[in-house]
Amino acid sequence: MIDFSLPDDLVALRDGVTRFIRDEVMPYESDPRQEFHGPTDDLRCELVAKAKQAGLLSPHGPVEWGGLGLNHVGMAVVFEAAGYSTLGPLALNIQAPDEGNTNLLHNVASQAQKERWLAPLVAGEVRSVFAMTEPDGGAGSDPSLMRTEARPDGDDYIINGRKWLITGMEGASFQILMARTFDQQGNDLGATMFMMDNDTPGIEIVRVLNTIDSNSPGGHAEVAYTDVRVPASQILGEAGKGFRYAQVRLTPARMTHCMRWLGAAVRCHDIATDYARQRQAFGKPIGEHEGVGFMLAENETDLHFCRLAIWQASWLLDQGEQARNETSMCKVRCSEALSAVVDRSLQVLGGRGITGDTVVERIYRDIRAFRIYDGPSEVHRWALARNIMKRN
């Protein structure tokens, strides 16, 4: 028999997060400290302080560094509850890219690196970035096109190149940078991850991009690296293993996107359902017109199946499986089905849907990028198709 029941302590935590989000976080959703590129760090710090006080900060973080140490199923349950508010993930310190970086550092960083970068990250004291994607024909869907280079110079490496779409760069304290790395003889070792404080000389924000979404503090930036000197001790893991570590980061990170967006889509559906019950047209509530009722039914169906897929893939990760296919399928289906839920919810709201009077308009804009980052849908389908063709 498949047991879908949740442990009592997880149910209690989920209920605590649900209350915290409703009572403490949702009142901030109209706070003016949410600017064109995203919430300000001042707002983030205020919310983080509240979550810390409530004992809910960093549910994903390792216990030894002050987090709650949840497994993947635990995260699925709690992240959905947090995602119900546009500011929930920020408050609990589980927003991308910090959440994925926490997992990566926990798994790969040395003890000294953990003390320097992981500890303040789990404590919510700082923000971080993950810098892989490049402009002008460099790394994107195909990371092997990476052009940013790291070349050895004594015990250091000198880094030159350019990155873009780097979430949260403005205001973040440190970064994990991917660069093509060469040895003393000029041999290409592959990609390496480097830990760097963002005030290291030679790192410069070229511009903060104007984007469709506005849910990340600092927005998304283009960053230039000019003769940036980094000691070899700041390599994360081993030189040349960057692409392998990227999988360590990206597989669970695409699942946590699904979890947070599930909560956001549930919120949109709840708002649409309330409206469909109250709003009258042609002699009855609009939800009793089949066109609207069927949209609500589709929403519930999509939410249900996304939740099942998330729980199943999370359970596989908890069993120590790589679950590459399952997490890919989950990312494709959740990004598309949850976007459809948000789109239908907006439609049910009529003209109100496109106004800032509900969070649906904001979520509609923010969720669009989910089909692109951490692997566009087409790339996941392409990878799945290759695996299908190889299967005996």
Ligand X SMILES: Cc1cc2nc3c(=O)[nH]c(=O)nc-3n(C[C@H](O)[C@H](O)[C@H](O)COP(=O)(O)OP(=O)(O)OC[C@H]3O[C@@H](n4cnc5c(N)ncnc54)[C@H](O)[C@@H]3O)c2cc1C
> Number of residues in contact with ligand X, rule: CB under 6 A?
20
Asked if 130 is part of the footprint of ligand X (rule: CB under 6 A), the reply reads yes
Which residues, including other chains, have CB under 8 Å from residue 141's CB and lie 6 or more apart? 375, 376, 379
Subset of residues 174 to 213 that bind ligand X, contact rule: CB under 6 A: 213
Q: Which of 350, 337, 355, 346 has the alpha carbon at shortest distance from 268?
A: 346
Q: Check residue 140 for interaction with ligand X (CB under 6 A).
A: yes
39, 62, 97, 100: which one binds ligand X (CB under 6 A): 97
Residue 25 or 250: which CB sits closer to ligand X? Answer: 250
**98 is an interface residue for ligand X by CB under 6 A:** no
Strands (E), the chain: 34-35, 38-39, 128-131, 149-153, 156-167, 174-182, 188-197, 203-208, 220-231, 235-236, 280-281, 284-285
Q: Are strands 149-153 and 174-182 parallel, antiparallel or unpaired?
A: parallel
CB of 51 to ligand X, least distance (A): 22
Q: What's the rounded Cα separation, in Å, for the pair 163 and 390?
A: 34
From the list 91, 131, 196, 317, which residue makes contact with ligand X (rule: CB under 6 A)?
Answer: 131
Candidates 339, 359, 369, 380; binder of ligand X (CB under 6 A) is 369
User: Least distance from C-beta 108 to ligand X, angstroms?
Assistant: 17
Answer yes or no whether residue 364 interacts with ligand X by CB under 6 A: no
Residue 97: cis peptide before it, omega within 30 degrees of 0? yes
Tell which residue, 178, 164, 160, has the closest CA to residue 135: 164
Query: Residues 375, 141: contact at Cβ < 8 Å?
Result: yes
Based on CB atoms, which residue is closest to ligand X, 108 or 166?
A: 166
Binding of ligand X at residue 387 (CB under 6 A)?
no
Strand partners, 131: 177
| Contact between 141 and ligand X per CB under 6 A | yes
For residue 166, state whether it binds ligand X (rule: CB under 6 A). yes
157 binds ligand X (CB under 6 A): no
Considering only residues 208 to 227 of the shown chain, the ones binding ligand X according to CB under 6 A are: 213, 220
Shortest Å distance, C-beta 225 to ligand X: 13
The piece of 153-161, 251-259, 341-349, 368-376 that touches ligand X (CB under 6 A) is 368-376
Smallest distance from ligand X to CB 156, Å: 23
Q: What is the DSSP letter of 237?
A: S
167 binds ligand X (CB under 6 A): yes
Strand segments, DSSP code E, in 274-367 are 280-281, 284-285
Which one of 133, 198, 234, 358 is in contact with ligand X (CB under 6 A)? 133
Cα–Cα distance for residue pair 76/59, rounded to 1 Å: 11
Within 10 angstroms of residue 86's Cβ, the number of other Cβ atoms is: 22
Stretch that binds ligand X, among 6-14, 131-139, 240-248, 280-288 (CB under 6 A): 131-139
Residue in the structure block whose two tokens are 């959440």? 99
**Binding range to ligand X, per CB under 6 A, among 13-21, 165-173, 251-259, 326-334:** 165-173
Residue 379 contacts ligand X per CB under 6 A: yes
Distance of alpha carbon 307 from alpha carbon 291, whole angstroms: 25
Which positions from 250 through 289 interact with ligand X, judged by CB under 6 A?
none
Q: Could you give the dihedral angle defined by the CA atoms of residues 250, 188, 161 and 175, in that order, rounded to the nearest 10 degrees?
A: 40
If one asks whether residue 132 binds ligand X (CB under 6 A), the answer comes out as yes
Residues forming contacts to ligand X in the complex (CB under 6 A) are 97, 129-133, 140-141, 165-167, 213, 220, 369, 372-373, 376, 378-379, 382
